[in-house]
């Protein structure tokens, strides 16, 4: 038996909580996984797992071995990654998560430019407005907008994102135009649940930070949906400026409270901590940082 394969099998079984699921993650049969773990125990001369027909549990020796074994496998995989990344031409597959409204236009355009420069790299983007656990869901990196909570991820700021408040002319004609944050309390507001504060809209004024708890008939988890509902005249919306800049320019939406600023938001690239960051990730993050910093059309103020 290959010792490394036995170690991988043992770790997979422990991580998945069963021989069946551990074997599936390695594309082998449960019987073969059991055989490999048994051979590993025989080689070491200790029992690593106490197993019955219905359950299994790490022995004390098994727990100690698992802790060291998992690190050795991670170190071995990293060694292989470092060696591959030293080649002159970067290659590999990148899985990236990004918000829908930003990803459909701005990010896609930027990634197209990146791929033209690096034909050996392929990219898969998952556009979703839900929070994605990068590590657990197998992503190399994520693009996120907003204030970041403390995290085990590395965050690279790409650029600031301004926030706009807006409504359709028809809504304002019927309900009036708010002049102060407190005026929003008398209006229908369209709430994007992706915002950390949800219906608590935060403003920076000369007197300091103001928090207004708005309300309305419509809640959503999509900035584009907020935009469409505002275009239909159903209330006042709040979204990143790039989502509504074309509608404001052509008069379909009216910007509101422009003399105030929303709490600061930024665009970030996030990726897991590692002693060695894969060159494909490093290249992509560096490219995006320079791309947006150089004022490329994808985020021009137009």
Helical ranges in 86-184 per DSSP H: 100-102, 108-117, 169-175
Joined tokens for residue 223: 């900035």
Rounded to two decimals, what is the model's pTM?
0.62
Closest CA to 258 of 235, 241, 272: 241
Give, for all 302 residues of the chain, the pLDDT tens digit.
588 999 999 999 999 889 999 999 899 999 999 999 999 999 999 999 998 877 889 999 999 999 899 888 888 887 777 676 666 577 889 999 998 888 887 899 999 999 999 998 999 999 988 888 888 788 899 998 876 665 678 899 998 888 899 999 999 999 999 999 999 999 999 998 877 677 888 887 777 788 899 999 999 988 899 999 999 999 999 988 889 999 999 999 999 998 876 666 789 999 987 656 778 888 999 999 999 987 654 443 33
Q: How far is CA 289 from the centre of its chain?
A: 16
User: What is the model's pLDDT at position 297?
Assistant: 47
User: What is the model's pLDDT at position 300?
Assistant: 39
On the CB side of 136, CA atoms within 13 Å amount to 6
Query: What DSSP element (H or E) covers 200?
Result: strand 200-205
d(CA 220, CA 236): 13
d(CA 195, CA 280): 30
């Amino acid at each position: 038996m290959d010792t490394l394969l036995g170690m991988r099998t043992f770790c997979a079984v422990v991580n998945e909580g069963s021989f069946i699921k551990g074997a599936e993650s390695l594309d082998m049969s449960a019987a073969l996984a059991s055989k490999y773990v048994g051979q590993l125990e025989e080689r070491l001369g200790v029992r690593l797992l106490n197993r019955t027909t219905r359950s299994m549990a790490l022995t004390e020796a098994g727990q100690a071995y698992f802790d060291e074994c998992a690190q050795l496998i991670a170190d071995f995989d990293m060694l292989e990654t470092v060696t591959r990344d030293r080649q002159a031409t970067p290659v590999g597959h990148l899985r990236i998560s990004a918000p829908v409204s930003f990803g459909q236009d701005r990010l896609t355009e930027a990634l197209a430019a990146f791929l033209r420069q690096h034909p050996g790299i392929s990219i898969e983007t998952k556009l979703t407005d839900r929070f994605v656990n990068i590590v657990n869901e197998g992503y190399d990196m994520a693009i996120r907008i907003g204030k970041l909570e403390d995290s085990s991820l590395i965050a690279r700021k790409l650029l600031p994102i301004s926030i706009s408040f807006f409504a359709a002319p028809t809504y304002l004609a019927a309900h009036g135009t708010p002049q102060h944050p407190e005026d929003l309390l008398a209006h229908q507001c369209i709430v994007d649940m992706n915002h950390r504060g949800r219906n608590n809209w935060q403003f920076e004024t000369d007197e300091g930070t103001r928090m207004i708890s708005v309300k309305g008939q419509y809640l959503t988890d999509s900035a584009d949906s907020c935009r469409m509902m505002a275009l239909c005249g159903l209330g006042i919306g709040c979204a990143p400026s790039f989502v509504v800049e074309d509608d404001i320019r052509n008069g379909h939406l009216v910007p509101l409270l422009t003399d105030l600023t929303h709490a600061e938001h930024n665009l970030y690239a996030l990726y897991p901590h590692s002693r060695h960051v894969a060159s494909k990730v490093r290249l992509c993050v560096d490219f995006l940082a320079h791309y947006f910093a150089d004022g490329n059309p994808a985020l021009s103020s137009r």
